[in-house]
Amino acid sequence: MSPMRTHPTTTAEAAGLTFDMSGSGPALVLLHGLGSSGKAFAPLVATLSKTFTTYVLDLPGHGRSPLPTPAPAEITPGDLARQVGLWMDTLGLDTVHVAGNSMGGWAALELAADGRAASVTALCPAGLWVPLTERSPLLDGNRRLARITRPVLPLLLRTSLGRKFGFRSAVERFDLLTPSIAVDAALDQIDTAGFDEAHDGMLHRWFDRSDEIAADIPVTIVFGDNDRMIPAATGRRREHSPAHARWITLPRCGHVPMWDAPHDTARIIRDTAGV
């Protein structure tokens, strides 16, 4: 079961983005990865909402947020950050604390370079890498598998063996991955309207704006010790991150720290924000 919410949640839409808001305190925005949605942060929301006004976004073409019209050929992490910036303008938010996973971590760093982040916690961020020149066969393969097995996904992912097989490339602690989160994640992979556009928007690029992030903006880069999606050899180039960034490696953790290490991840986000 998902953690019990201690704060009421409001769902709304602004600037083309659907989001859930809960809690009180400084604003914290949570940005998910490619082929995912805000549901990926379910293990953290109840805890973080005790400290922050927590905004869980569905990025363009993901979850409940539609693709822009007309649909672009590519959506880059910089494009995602600019859309989040427009969303912030609509809500009257000047700067926010930001935590993002994978593609969302890259977008969080772009937001900081745009001057819109009060702090950044980048969870297994994309973009600190040797640029990809072709699509990831692992990401595409996972999506094809989810599509093929869709009719029986709830049944398969109800079992620990099914979750271990289906999420072996992203998760280490299968005992913490609940059936509801696993099913939501698999369906998100299938139904993401902007998957191809966002995937292609990360090709031939890397995060190249580290010198635009002010030294007084706290930045924490978090990787799992067994992240198969972004290998250490090619995907964790410190020269692409701000010089003042703090780097943390979480043990027994894969590509999604909020699933493998929810308590540690929430603590790191709070520490980075200084609250």
Q: Judge whether 54 and 22 are in contact, CB under 8 Å.
A: yes
Domains along the chain?
Answer: 9-133+195-273 (3.40.50.1820)
Would the pTM of this model clear 0.85, i.e. be above it?
Answer: yes
- Over residues 212-263, the pLDDT tens digits come to 999 999 999 999 999 999 999 999 999 999 999 999 999 999 999 999 999 9
Q: Judge whether 39 and 63 are in contact, CB under 8 Å.
A: yes
Give pLDDT < 50 ranges for the chain. Answer: 1-5
pLDDT at 69: 87
Q: What is the C-alpha to C-alpha distance for residues 149 and 153, in angstroms, rounded to an integer?
A: 6
pLDDT at 54: 98
State the DSSP H helix or E strand holding residue 273, giving kind and residue range, or none if neither.
helix 262-273
pLDDT at 4: 40
- Over residues 2-31, the pLDDT tens digits come to 334 456 889 999 999 999 999 999 999 999
Task: Choose among 86, 78, 103, 7: nearest CA to 48.
Answer: 7
